[in-house]
Structure 1
């Protein structure tokens, strides 16, 4: 049985205006090194990011997307939202090309996800099915927790050139889409997590890194509804 999907509390909108966002992006792009990934407790992660509305010119936007992609790869991760590098803007990059254990890939419906940059994303469930798995976050280092998410979603977003787009995702790809979109709305995966499942990375790897979550649920006492 899957857990229920936990709703999110509304987040306050970012107080940053267009000029402040532009200046922040330019200062980050001027640095020689990749930007640090901000951690839980930073207010930018708890604000509803500003919808993209031309705050950056096309060349600057593409440079920012490239920087975010390189930062995601370096982490390494499968997604990165602009707030995770301190920019309160509704932009995220996604890509999953990792080789994973075939049993885990089958259980989690994890298949490669080609690179995608999304602006102003919003997702909706495709059907009632949910999936519950351990999940982590580059902005919550050192921990994993079980999160229940929609098994399949439709995503509406803007492409970097401003073209409206819609795509459907299922399995682990849908999880990545939901995780990164939640970031842009001021939420962390912990807001949707089963708190009794929370595990440090060492404990997770030693005890609960199976394809599914049944052993962890039985031992840690997850609520089943």
Structure 2
């Protein structure tokens, strides 16, 4: 296994729809193992294949609830259904999120409270995941990556403008930029 470089906003693979996984090969299994190692090293609660430069519809996720129960897995070719968003502004204390492809920042974003995700696992078996709360937020965030959407693309005007200033200041927004967990000094 290896810790892979994580692409930073502006890299074309992050802004284009990912392709379906046609066949589960040893290379796909290795990619997912590397994605778990990268996600854990970052540390993050989710990682989509485009974030490591691979334009395939795969993401990993990991979360530990308040009782210490682990929730961890990988999903290939996911489909996402969600409840309509509750109207109103997001609560900055409870609805802020960050992204390993826009490291070191967090912004409030309203997400659906519950989702259903279907897809397949590494054995090609069907998966059905119904979750709410932070787990639903993780699923929506990672699914967005597979459609070429970063969470900053969903922010309101003021926060979006702030992200653009941050990106300019840090020299982001161009192809080929990345950081490697455990190597580069970025506070994700």
- TM-score bin, normalised by smaller chain: 0.7 to 0.9
> 2:37, 2:76 → 1: CA distance?
18
Deviations 1:154-200 (A, max 9, x none): 11111111112211010000000000000011000011112424678
> 1:113, 1:139 → 2: CA distance?
24
CA distance 1:75–1:64, shift in 2 (3 Å): same
In structure 1, what is the equivalent of residue 40 of structure 2? Answer: 73
- Give the count of matched residue pairs: 157
CA distance 1:123–1:49, shift in 2 (3 Å): same
Residue from 64, 75, 85 that aligns with 1:97: 64
SS in 2 for 1:149: coil
CA distance 1:187–1:145, shift in 2 (3 Å): same
**Alpha-carbon RMSD:** 2.4
Residue from 176, 182, 188 that aligns with 2:150: 188
Provide structure 2 residue ranges, at least 5 long, that are not aligned to the other structure: 164-188
TM-score (normalizing by structure 2): 0.75
TM-score (normalizing by structure 1): 0.63
SS in 2 for 1:66: helix
In structure 2, what is the equivalent of residue 141 of structure 1? Answer: 103
In structure 1, what is the equivalent of residue 6 of structure 2? Answer: 37
The structural deviation recorded for 1:113 is: 4.8
> 1:112, 1:179 → 2: CA distance?
21
> 1:138, 1:149 → 2: CA distance?
18
Provide structure 1 residue ranges, at least 5 long, that are not aligned to the other structure: 1-28, 99-104, 201-225
1:146/1:194 contact within 8 Å kept = no
> 1:195, 1:96 → 2: CA distance?
30
In structure 2, what is the equivalent of residue 154 of structure 1? Answer: 116
The structure whose RCO (Cα within 8 Å, separation 6+) is larger is: 2
The structural deviation recorded for 1:119 is: 0.6
Q: Which of the two has greater helix per residue?
A: 1
Q: Which of the two has greater strand per residue?
A: 2
Bigger radius of gyration: 1
| Mapping of residues 1-225 of structure 1, within 5 Å | 33-54=2-23, 56-57=24-25, 59-97=26-64, 112-126=69-83, 129=86, 132=90, 133-197=95-159
